[in-house]
Chains A and B, each alone.
Chain A
């Protein structure tokens, strides 16, 4: 075992749970609903965390953070995800947009974009995928053409989560030759209210806000809105996706739901078919394994030796566990499985049904299962 969460982790976890209990209703299932109240809860909670210096715990002190250890950050991510991410869509800004600007931004960009993120005031979304560029992200075609001192963007993005809630979007666009692939992509920081930028929701079984289309029609981008150097976007995108792969502590919600479902079912749990209880027990084992694989990757990251295949292996375990837990718990609640959050008396306020639906996309979002398996296989074969 090559990690130690440290002495502070337990008390930090308790403190976060207290804050969540005091500020987030038990029935909260995330900010992404048709009820604007949910978004308000998340916005308010971000301010509470900001006031407690917990929002940017992970950020270096020079940018208003607490310079916390990676393990404190891990505790925050676990508690947030376990409780349906009460920071709402803010996590994108906090977790990768902010850090990317710290690392690659100009002093002006840092001064402009970081304080509102640290204060919990803005939402960012991620405009990478396109209709024809999914797994093959490097084939993206949205074009950025120089226009005076700035650029003009034309093209289409898709699956852009939270686009209708967001204030800004990080748009990946082609600045190199059409076939320049990884070497010809630049990232732009585009305000969502910029002329020519239109977001359209896509109704889906995952629920509202998860999927949107983004149309870019001659969108003007100012010189200070590109992350430099031009054509250097791919590295930043890889960091962002690597974050999404390890940074979302899906195993924590699995742990919480496994425990709470059992408690909620009481005697009905004990009388479930033995084969189902066996699946439940195995799912709990898999959640633990997934957590430990994630810790291993986090420890390696902390030591500055990120290994892509470690992160990919952790992600394979985590996303499969996510779906496994969804399947087991839905079966345990029997004919209540159809109840979403709008049905009175739904088990765990609809939290199991919500988890089940969302988990179906776990092996697709932020890089498909097959792409992760490819990385793991390559590493295993090269080790020979």
Chain B
């Protein structure tokens, strides 16, 4: 499978990384937590200057990959803006952001920014109207309670799949940054006269993180490369599979990252603490690991999961 990207897309991804870093990177997120208007005053202009609002990720596979990679970059900075939802909405509803909603109280990360539509697992469409300011809580700083107003029509499964894939790419970005911070920490922190990286159990933990990150990256690339071509049912099964992998990886990577950082990783002056808190809405909305896995189980019950032997079994 050719996962190479045209130069144009590569350039966009690099530009996004530079622009978000120049706007402060994780520091911007820290500022937004103190003053949520920073999201519109600083983050939104970065998005506009990059021309990201014009990117139609559903138009062709290369653009889908480019958009997904930009989401990854945003995740690696814990960028306080709903980029994945913006891309998904631009394609599925020709404007506004698109949220995925599951069971329980309807909530949307950054649900106060811009106009939102929402879609549930069965494809039912809604308008999502914020009913309150962001929670401002530790694990959901920008999570907003919304009211859902039913809308006519149904969303195509591929639109929902694309929206899910973009969130998973964002999670991949968080995972990459957590790994990078942890590698940096264990190679500089000295205990018992050596850097932590000299202890074999630390090396094994770093290796576990690395294997999870690599696996998630390959699965993510595989999934986004074919989302527009495999057909509705398969795109949805792919997207659920990717989300399961993303949630598994993120949970374990952040656990190990915190463990290897020791006490300092819990301090909000450390980037790890910002990342592990701000990734929570991505891991829990619309559904967390077991809820997502159940949807995948249901999907596999209807048609086999695409594998080396599935064609023979399902034919």
* Chain B residues touching A, majority SS: mixed
A363 and B284 contacting across the interface, CB-CB below 8 Å: no
A238: min CB distance to chain B, Å: 17
A331 to B107, CA, bound (A): 15
> Is B268's CB under 8 angstroms from A205's CB?
yes
B280: which of A132, A274, A337, A368 is its contact (CB, 8 Å)? A337
Chain B contact residue count (CB 8 A cutoff): 42
B31 to chain A, nearest CB (A): 14
- Indicate if the CB atoms of B268 and A204 lie closer than 8 Å: yes
Specify the chain A residue showing the minimal Cβ separation from B105: A335
* Chain A residues with CB below 8 A from B255, complex form: 323, 360
CA distance A211 to B263 in the complex (A): 9
Q: Which residues of B contact A3 (CB under 8 A)?
A: none
Question: Cβ of A279 < 8 Å from any Cβ of B?
Answer: yes
Residue in chain B with minimal CB distance to A357 = B138
Q: Which residue of B lies closest to A363 (CB)?
A: B259
Of B88-96, B159-167, B230-238, B290-298, the segment with at least 4 beta carbons within 8 Å of chain A is B290-298
Chain A residues with a Cβ closer than 8 Å to the other chain, count: 47
In contact, B191 and A134 (Cβ under 8 angstroms): yes
A368 touches B262 (CB 8 A): yes
A370 touches B269 (CB 8 A): no
Q: Chain B 117-152 against A: per-residue CB contact (8 Å), 1 yes, 0 no?
A: 000000000000000000101111001000000000
Residues of A within 8 A of B287 (CB): 334
Interface string of A350-384 (1 = CB under 8 A from B): 00010011001101110011100100000000000
In the complex, A368 Cα to B191 Cα: how many Å? Answer: 13
For A205, the chain B residues whose CB sits under 8 A away are: 138, 266, 268, 273, 276-277
Asked if B106 contacts A135 (CB within 8 A), the reply is no
A136 interface residue per 8 A CB criterion: yes
Q: Judge whether B263 and A361 touch: CB under 8 Å.
A: yes
Query: Which residues of chain B come closer than 8 Å to A353, judged between CB atoms?
Result: 137-139
**What chain B residues lie within 8 Å of A158 (beta carbons)?**
263
| Residues 321-340 of A at the B interface (beta carbon under 8 Å) | 323, 327, 330-331, 333-340
Are A136 and B102 in touch, CB under 8 angstroms? no
Q: Which residues of A contact B269 (CB under 8 A)?
A: 202-203
B139 touches A204 (CB 8 A): no
Query: Which chain B positions have C-beta within 8 A of A343?
Result: 135, 137
B267 interfacial by beta-carbon distance below 8 Å:
yes
- Neighbour of A331 across the interface among B190, B201, B288, CB < 8 A: B288
Out of B251, B280, B286, B294, name the residue touching A273 (CB < 8 Å). B294
**Nearest residue in A to B205 (C-beta to C-beta)?**
A370
> A135 and B139: CB pair below 8 A?
no
B192 touches A364 (CB 8 A): no
Residues from chain A with Cβ under 8 Å of B273 in the complex:
204-205
- B67 within 8 A of partner (CB): no
With known contacts A136-B192, A335-B107, A337-B139, A275–B290 Cβ distance under 8 A? yes
B-contact bits for A152-190, CB 8 A (1 contact / 0 none): 000000110000000000000000000000000000000
| Minimum CB distance partner of B290 in chain A | A276
Interface flags, A11-40, vs B, CB<8A=1, else 0: 000000000000000000000000000000
Chain A: CB-nearest residue to B199:
A370
The answer to whether A135 and B266 touch (CB under 8 A), given A327-B251, A360-B258, is no
Apart from the given pairs A275-B293, A327-B251, 11 other A-B contacts in the complex at a CB distance below 8 Å? A135-B192, A136-B191, A202-B267, A211-B266, A273-B290, A334-B103, A335-B104, A360-B258, A360-B266, A364-B263, A370-B259
Please report B residues at the A interface, Cβ cutoff 8 Å: 102-107, 135, 137-140, 143, 190-193, 201, 251, 255, 258-259, 262-263, 266-269, 273, 276-277, 280-281, 284-291, 293-294
A contacts, CB < 8 Å to B:
129, 132, 134-136, 139, 158-159, 202-207, 211, 272-276, 279, 323, 327, 330-331, 333-340, 342-343, 353, 356-357, 360-361, 363-365, 368-370, 373
A-B pairs with beta carbons under 8 Å apart, 26 shown: A129-B263, A136-B191, A139-B191, A202-B267, A202-B269, A203-B267, A204-B267, A204-B268, A207-B138, A211-B263, A211-B267, A279-B290, A331-B284, A331-B289, A334-B105, A335-B286, A336-B104, A337-B140, A338-B139, A338-B143, A338-B281, A353-B139, A360-B266, A360-B276, A364-B263, A370-B201
